[in-house]
């Protein structure tokens, strides 16, 4: 049920206060119940759960199409496994949750649980290994938590781990993972992907390379949203993962890739507006809601027509339902706009007797009359083509407005403090990275853009470079 005040459904606060708007929308659209009394956790509500499960299903299909099989490892990690790679342990020891005797920790990431078992699998000749799991991960965050953005229980965390005989095979695998994520962002979530390659000093010691995906939230903060780590042989050497080639050890090559429910945080905040969610059709639990508008005399006929239309829409592969609740038509409009259902069809007396239906698009908030004969084809085209295209174009335009190419640190400071994200040439040197990240609290240079280059000079040291970095405040 949508929360009600004396004067109808509770209203969304203005989007200028992003976190207030975001938290309120999570509750009103029934994505999450944030009243659970443990910091950094929440309850997934049925509508949010359906949205998330639709994303999980898309990823499941994509992973399995690429021969990556689903598994599930235990949440408990024995301390001896956790300490096997001391770099990993140093990185996570302060953020991990432990059992009372400190014999076990709750997994912050999968490597130490999986790799000792991979060693046994490799011995049995199971190569290459290409597996994933979708579970919760746990981190005792010292930073402020924000639902779905920074949780202590990170839900629906998927993690791919692959093991290869050759470096080339691992490089190819990492590119495949990047293509899967690119396609998720574009085709399913309708958000232009921004990916960066991490500088060497920012990745695991001994790893080959890493890509990270970023989204930009309405408050101008960069949110890391997925990472692909080509671990090289760094972990193989720590966990002794090798193939015996006539008595000589050949260490294997590994890739690990992961992201969690943060995808939903991006979808909500990037597509959402003053009325609520705008759900991309590919992940929408419901594509079309039909609202019958009737009085005592017309109720039977109008409801019958609404049901006939619903059945036809369903037959054509669209998720449709008739809202027959006791709420008034106006309240129903508000509720479904809040939940971001892509299309609403209204059927009143005019529609019943005329040759058209009234159709409302959530992404444009425009109503149009659609001939009854064309309603199925029109709805299908909107769901499959026009709405996703419009969403991605709007998001791309917003990114264009918020990201500014800057020539100086001073210019960057002003732009970032006004809620923008800066882009500049940089030489990829560690000192310059540190200088950029020092311009203001929580500002960070996130890495080298993978899909864009420009002739210029490093914004810090003046050295010639074609490489660009994004920088701004991060979560
Ligand atoms: Zn430089």
What pLDDT band is residue 218 in, cutting at 50, 70 and 90? very high
In the block, which residue shows the tokens 């004067």? 7
Cα→Cα distances 275→44, 286, 320, 426, Å: 21, 17, 21, 40
| Cα 202 to ligand 1 centroid, rounded to whole Å | 16
> pTM score > 0.75 for this model?
yes
What is the pLDDT of the chain when averaged over all its residues? 95
Q: Is the pLDDT of residue 5 over 70?
A: no
| Cα 149 to ligand 1 centroid, rounded to whole Å | 31
Of 424, 433, 434, 430, whose CA–CA distance to 459 is shortest?
A: 424
| Cα 200 to ligand 1 centroid, rounded to whole Å | 15
The CATH code for residues 4-271 is: 3.30.930.10
| Cα 229 to ligand 1 centroid, rounded to whole Å | 25
| Cα 338 to ligand 1 centroid, rounded to whole Å | 47
| Cα 193 to ligand 1 centroid, rounded to whole Å | 26
| Cα 192 to ligand 1 centroid, rounded to whole Å | 28
| Cα 312 to ligand 1 centroid, rounded to whole Å | 61
Alpha-carbon torsion (190, 191, 196, 202), positive or negative: negative
pLDDT recorded at residue 207 = 87
**d(Cα 46, Cα 304) in Å, to the nearest integer?**
28
Tokens of 341: 């259902």
Question: Going by CATH, does the domain composed of 403-473 fall within 1.10.10.60?
Answer: no
Rg (CA), the chain: 25
Residue range(s) in the chain whose domain bears CATH number 3.40.50.800? 286-384
Q: Is the pLDDT of residue 402 over 60?
A: yes
| Cα 213 to ligand 1 centroid, rounded to whole Å | 23
Contact between residue 221 and residue 100 where contact means Cβ atoms under 8 Å apart: no
Buried b (16+ CB within 10 A) or exposed e, 239-252: bebbbeeeeeeebb
| Cα 203 to ligand 1 centroid, rounded to whole Å | 19
Residue range(s) in the chain whose domain bears CATH number 3.30.110.30? 403-473
| Cα 441 to ligand 1 centroid, rounded to whole Å | 20
What pLDDT band is residue 46 in, cutting at 50, 70 and 90? very high
| Cα 428 to ligand 1 centroid, rounded to whole Å | 6
Tokens of 371: 């001939």
| Cα 425 to ligand 1 centroid, rounded to whole Å | 8
Q: What is the mean pLDDT of residues 288-317?
A: 97
pLDDT recorded at residue 142 = 87
Q: Is the pLDDT of residue 54 over 60?
A: yes
% of the chain exceeding 90 in pLDDT: 92
Contact between residue 260 and residue 154 where contact means Cβ atoms under 8 Å apart: yes
| Cα 407 to ligand 1 centroid, rounded to whole Å | 13
| Cα 231 to ligand 1 centroid, rounded to whole Å | 26
**d(Cα 390, Cα 361) in Å, to the nearest integer?**
11
| Cα 143 to ligand 1 centroid, rounded to whole Å | 30
| Cα 413 to ligand 1 centroid, rounded to whole Å | 17
Q: Is the pLDDT of residue 6 over 70?
A: no
Cα→Cα distances 155→76, 128, 152, 247, Å: 16, 28, 9, 43
**d(Cα 171, Cα 177) in Å, to the nearest integer?**
10
| Cα 291 to ligand 1 centroid, rounded to whole Å | 59
pLDDT recorded at residue 104 = 96
Residue range(s) in the chain whose domain bears CATH number 3.30.930.10? 4-271
Q: Is the pLDDT of residue 8 over 50?
A: no
| Cα 431 to ligand 1 centroid, rounded to whole Å | 7
Q: Is the pLDDT of residue 399 over 70?
A: yes
Q: What is the mean pLDDT of residues 336-342?
A: 97
| Cα 9 to ligand 1 centroid, rounded to whole Å | 53
| Cα 462 to ligand 1 centroid, rounded to whole Å | 6
Question: Going by CATH, does the domain composed of 286-384 fall within 3.40.50.800?
Answer: yes
| Cα 11 to ligand 1 centroid, rounded to whole Å | 48
Contacts of 197 (CB under 8 A, 6+ apart): 209, 210, 211, 447, 448, 450
| Cα 403 to ligand 1 centroid, rounded to whole Å | 20
**d(Cα 127, Cα 255) in Å, to the nearest integer?**
14
In the block, which residue shows the tokens 């990690």? 77
| Cα 42 to ligand 1 centroid, rounded to whole Å | 43
| Cα 449 to ligand 1 centroid, rounded to whole Å | 16
Give me the phi and psi of 150, to 5 degrees please.
-140, 100
Q: Is the pLDDT of residue 103 over 90?
A: yes
**d(Cα 235, Cα 144) in Å, to the nearest integer?**
31
**Cβ atoms within 10 Å of 405's Cβ, excluding its own:** 13
Contacts of 37 (CB under 8 A, 6+ apart): none
| Cα 412 to ligand 1 centroid, rounded to whole Å | 15
């Amino acid at each position: 049920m949508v929360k009600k005040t004396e004067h109808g459904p509770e209203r969304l606060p203005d989007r200028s206060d992003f976190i207030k708007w975001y938290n309120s929308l999570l509750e009103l659209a029934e994505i999450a119940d944030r009243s659970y009394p443990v910091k950094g956790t929440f309850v997934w509500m049925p509508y949010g759960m359906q949205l998330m499960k639709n994303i999980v299903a898309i990823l499941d299909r994509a992973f399995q199409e690429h021969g990556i099989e689903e598994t599930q490892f235990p949440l408990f990690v024995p301390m001896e496994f956790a300490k096997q790679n001391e770099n990993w342990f140093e990185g996570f020891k302060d953020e991990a949750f432990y059992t009372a005797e400190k014999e076990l920790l709750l997994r912050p990431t999968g490597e130490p649980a999986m790799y000792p078992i991979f060693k046994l699998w490799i011995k049995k000749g199971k190569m290459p290994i290409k597996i994933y799991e979708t579970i919760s991960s746990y981190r005792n965050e010292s930073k402020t938590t924000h639902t779905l953005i920074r949780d202590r229980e990170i839900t629906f965390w998927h993690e791919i781990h692959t093991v290869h005989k050759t470096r080339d095979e691992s490089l190819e695998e990492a590119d495949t993972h990047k293509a899967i994520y690119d396609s998720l962002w574009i085709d399913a979530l309708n958000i232009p992907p921004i990916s960066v390659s991490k500088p060497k000093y920012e990745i695991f010691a001994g790893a080959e390379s890493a890509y990270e995906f970023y989204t930009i939230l309405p408050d101008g903060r960069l949110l890391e949203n997925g990472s692909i780590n080509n671990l090289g042989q760094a972990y193989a050497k720590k966990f002794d993962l090798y193939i015996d080639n006539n008595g000589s050890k050949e260490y294997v090559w590994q890739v690990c890739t992961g992201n969690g429910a943060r995808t939903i945080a991006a979808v909500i905040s990037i597509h959402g507006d003053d009325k609520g969610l705008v759900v991309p059709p590919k992940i929408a639990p419901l594509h079309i809601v039909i609202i019958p508008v009737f009085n005592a005399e017309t109720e039977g006929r109008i409801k019958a027509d609404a049901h006939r239309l619903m059945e036809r829409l369903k037959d054509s592969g669209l998720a449709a339902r008739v809202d027959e609740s006791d709420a008034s038509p106006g309240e129903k409009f508000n509720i479904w706009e809040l939940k971001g259902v892509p299309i609403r069809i209204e059927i009143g007396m005019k529609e019943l007797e005329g040759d058209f239906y009234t159709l409302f698009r959530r992404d444009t908030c425009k109503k149009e009359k659609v001939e009854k004969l064309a309603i199925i084809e029109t709805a299908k085209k909107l769901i499959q083509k026009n709405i996703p295209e419009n969403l991605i174009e709007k998001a791309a335009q917003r990114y264009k407005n918020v990201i500014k190419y800057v020539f100086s640190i001073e210019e960057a400071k002003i732009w970032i403090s006004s809620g923008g994200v800066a882009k500049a040439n940089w030489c990829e040197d560690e000192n310059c990275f540190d200088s950029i990240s020092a311009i203001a609290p929580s500002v960070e240079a996130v890495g080298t853009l993978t899909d864009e280059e420009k002739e210029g000079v490093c914004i810090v040291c003046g050295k010639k470079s074609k490489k660009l970095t994004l920088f701004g405040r991060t979560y």
